Structure 1
Amino acid sequence: MTKDHGPTIKDDETYEELRKDGASKEKAARIANAKANDKQHPSKKGGKASPYEDWTKDELEDRAAEIGIDGRSDMNKDELIKALRNH
């Protein structure tokens, strides 16, 4: 049985599946709420930016700073990519 995560989570089942797959609470909530909104289609979004592997390390660090990833200056390119994808 799916747990009720309160009014801030609009699709509890999707939220729980994303958490089981390793998504952060923030990311799982964002996706679950977007999926529950009839005006949004999260599965159709994305694909507009080039893959992180094509970005420079400086570009990755800038993006990590934008979203508040700690320890980014000590990370190598692969670690930055992993941190950005898991955020």
Structure 2
Amino acid sequence: MEVKKRDKTAAEDTRDRLWTLLLRRHPALRKVGYYFHGDDFEAVTPRLLSRASSAQAVDEALEEEPEAIASDATGEGEAEGEAP
């Protein structure tokens, strides 16, 4: 019994090429992150295949503009006299 090898679709080929490029260039991205952010580069350039965001990054995002986030959620962020 012979097993036939099927050809890749265009989407599968593109996906594989993108993943290969990402694997090859990610170390350079982390070096750039270290250059600009020093020892805090881990918060900016996560490790490959890490899905969990760091608690520090979440806290920083919430501290940046909590009022803007709250007003956008309630719809109160619009200026007076302007139509929605």
Q: TM-score range by the shorter chain?
A: under 0.3
Greater RCO, CA 8 A, separation 6+: 1
- Structure (1/2) with the larger helix percentage: 2
- The alignment's TM-score, normalised by the length of structure 1, stands at 0.26
- The alignment's TM-score, normalised by the length of structure 2, stands at 0.27
